[in-house]
Amino acid sequence: MKTFTSKDLAQSHIKTLKEQGLSIGFVPTMGALHKGHISLVETSKQNNDITIVSIFVNPTQFNNAKDLEKYPKTIEADLEKLERVNCDFVFIPDASELYAPNEAAEIFNFEGLDTVMEGAFRDNHFNGVGTIIKKFFDIVTPTNAYFGKKDFQQLQIIHKLLTITQQPVHIVGCEIYREHDGLAMSSRNVRLSEQHRKAAPFIYATLLEVKKMSLQSSLIDIKSFVEKAFQEHPDLELEYFSIANEKDLLEATAITKATKTRAFIAVFAGEIRLIDNIALY
Ligand code: AMP
Mean pLDDT of 130-137: 98
Q: How confident is the model at residue 33 (pLDDT cuts 50, 70, 90)?
A: very high
Specify the ligand 1 atom closest to the Cα of 175: 21
**CB within 8 A of 174, min separation 6: which ones?**
39, 40, 43, 146, 147, 148, 149
If you measure from the C-alpha of residue 220 to the centroid of ligand 1, how many angstroms do you get, rounded to a whole number?
A: 31
Residue 3's pLDDT is 98
CA of 179 to the centre of ligand 1 (A): 13
- The stretch 75-94 carries a mean pLDDT of 98
Query: What residues contact residue 21 under an 8 Å CB cut-off, 6+ apart?
Result: none
DSSP code of residue 195: H
pLDDT confidence of residue 259: 82
Q: Whose CA is nearest to atom 10 of ligand 1?
A: 147
- Rounded to whole angstroms, how far apart are CA atoms 247 and 153? 10
- Could you tell me the pLDDT band of residue 67, with boundaries at 50, 70 and 90? confident
- Residue nearest ligand 1's atom 11 by CA: 148
Query: 233 an active-site residue?
Result: no
- Rounded to whole angstroms, what are the CA distances from 104 to 57, 84, 130, 165, 233? 15, 36, 12, 18, 39
**CA pair distance 49, 132, nearest whole angstrom:** 24
For ligand 1, atom 14: residue with the closest CA:
148
Asked whether residue 12 carries a pLDDT value surpassing 90, the answer given is: yes
Measured from the Cα of 30, ligand 1's closest atom is 2
Mean pLDDT over residues 79-95, rounded?
A: 98
**30 CA to middle of ligand 1, Å?**
9
Question: Looking at 1-5, 122-126, 161-165, which range is the least confident one?
Answer: 122-126
pLDDT at residue 15 is higher than 90: yes
- Which of 29, 52, 54, 159 to mutate to test ligand 1, by most ligand atoms within 8 A of the CB atom? 29
Pocket test for ligand 1, best of 30, 35, 39, 40 (most atoms within 8 A of CB): 40
Pocket of ligand 1 (CB under 6 A): 29-30, 36-37, 39-40, 147-148, 150-151, 174, 176-177, 184-187
Pairing status of strand 272-279 against strand 50-55: unpaired
- pLDDT at residue 281, rounded to an integer: 87
Residue 277: pLDDT band by 50, 70, 90 thresholds? very high
| Residue 171 burial class via C-beta count within 10 angstroms: exposed 0-12, middle 13-18, buried 19 and up | middle
Catalytic residue among 37, 125, 196, 233: 37
φ, ψ (nearest 5 deg) of residue 79: -65, -40
CA distance 214 to 219: 8
pLDDT beyond 90 at 31: yes
Strands 261-269 and 272-279: antiparallel
210-268 tens-digit pLDDT: 999 998 999 999 999 999 999 999 999 999 999 999 999 999 999 887 889 999 999 99
Residue of minimum CA distance from atom 7 in ligand 1: 29
pLDDT mean across residues, the chain:
97
How many angstroms is it from 43 CA to the middle of ligand 1? Answer: 13
Query: How far are the Cα atoms of 47, 50, 146 from residue 170, in angstroms, in the given order?
Result: 12, 15, 9
**Nearest CA owner, ligand 1 atom 6:** 29
